[in-house]
Structure 1
Amino acid sequence: MYKRALSFGLLVILVDQVTKWWAENALGNGERISVIGDFLTFVLVYNPGAAFSLGTGSTWIFTIFSVVVVTAIMWVLRKCESRAWAITLGIIAGGAVGNLIDRVFREPSVGQGHVVDFISYNGWFVGNVADIALVLGVIALVIIELLGIECRGSAPVEEAADE
């Protein structure tokens, strides 16, 4: 299952980085592209914080947190036998690494780089593919937990119906 998780994680990272490259090249001059009216637009933003620009000025905390989360996911995946868990954790790790790459390699400095965001949701917030992967991955993780699927491969225990 580790290879499956790695495949999904690498796919998320690849799509995230390619779309960020596209955004910087297509939107770098302040251009705004309407996708669905004003509800969904593409506009380039460099985010120095986390979601909703929270924690601006404390980017290094998010860098450390991302490293811890990705490390924990890799540790859990070593013994994970569930396809659902592996795919979900791979997607979450991919999203975390996608934004971690920005924090490590972008301006203004190592560990404090600004994340490239470009998908604007009705002006409420601006995100990227890594953010979408993180949100969908966490939602899937909650569903997996509610279904009782265990990472170690045990299926949910179903009680026999009383006859």
Structure 2
Amino acid sequence: MQAARGTPLTGDQTDPAPSGPVPSRSSNRRLLALFAAVALTAYAVDVVSKIVAVDRLTGRPDVQIVGDLFQLHLVRNPGAAFSTGTAYTEVLSVVAIIAVLVLLYLSRRIGSVGWAVSLGLLLAGVAGNLTDRLLRTPGPLRGHVIDFFVLPHWPVFNVADICIDVAAALILVQVYRGRRLDGSRAPRDHEAAE
């Protein structure tokens, strides 16, 4: 006998329970607050560092911090990483706007500290470089990104780029650990076979 179509009265269910704890509403709020705090803090550091770099480095030769190992050199980059896609600045800007909207949408589903930190950093990095593309010369959607950190044999980069790279590494760690965005654990291959 069934109470409703497809629902057994005995409580036996064929679907396995989700692996891992289901976050409560207060836990979700805390994780969303952590996501927002990480994103806003990293974004502010990026914006302020670019303002200072433009103010202090414009028209100056390279500033050596640790000899040739770490220097400061102001570059206005119209392209993406490694200065690729310089003819597609407007397309890169639109892609960044979509990425920000997707990250904000996904943030509602965050169920673990690892995902809150990684997506917060990713949002800060994407938004930081997008801000340059929207507000800097030569104009909206065509603005050049401010880069100023120099390492040997590596393209010039900024705080937003660091945030994106660290976020990518943290996301890979979450995926490797089998931790889904909602905080549940994906079953391992040997668990799924049982």
**Alignment-derived partner of residue 166 in structure 2:** 136
Structure 1 counterpart of 2:59, which letter? N
Alignment of 1:9-48 (within 5 A): 9-48=39-78
Alignment of 1:41-120 (within 5 A): 41-120=71-150
SS at structure 2 position matched to 1:127: coil
Offset at residue 155 of structure 1 (A): 3.6
Percent of residue pairs identical: 32
* 1:7 has 2:37 as partner: yes
TM-score normalised per structure 1: 0.92
Residues 43-84 of structure 1 show CA distances to partners (whole Å, capped at 9, x for unaligned) of 100001011110112111111111111111111111221111
Q: Distance in 2 between matches of 1:9 and 1:116?
A: 19
Q: Distance in 2 between matches of 1:72 and 1:137?
A: 15
SS at structure 1 position matched to 2:141: coil
Structure 2 counterpart of 1:11, which letter? T
Structure 2 counterpart of 1:145, which letter? V
Which region of structure 1 is more displaced relative to structure 2, 148-157 or 8-17? 148-157
Structure 1 counterpart of 2:175, which letter? E
Q: Distance in 2 between matches of 1:101 and 1:123?
A: 27
Q: Distance in 2 between matches of 1:136 and 1:93?
A: 12
Structure 2 counterpart of 1:100, which letter? L
Q: Distance in 2 between matches of 1:84 and 1:146?
A: 12
SS at structure 2 position matched to 1:154: coil
Q: Distance in 2 between matches of 1:56 and 1:112?
A: 10
Unpaired stretches in structure 2, ≥5 consecutive residues: 1-30
Deviating beyond 4 angstroms after TM superposition, the runs of 4 or more aligned structure 1 residues are 156-160
Offset at residue 123 of structure 1 (A): 5.1
Determine if contact 1:39/1:123 at 8 Å carries over to the other structure: no
Q: Distance in 1 between matches of 2:150 and 2:167?
A: 20
Unpaired stretches in structure 1, ≥5 consecutive residues: none
Q: Distance in 2 between matches of 1:110 and 1:156?
A: 42
**Alignment-derived partner of residue 23 in structure 2:** none
Offset at residue 157 of structure 1 (A): 4.9
Higher Cα Rg, which structure: 2
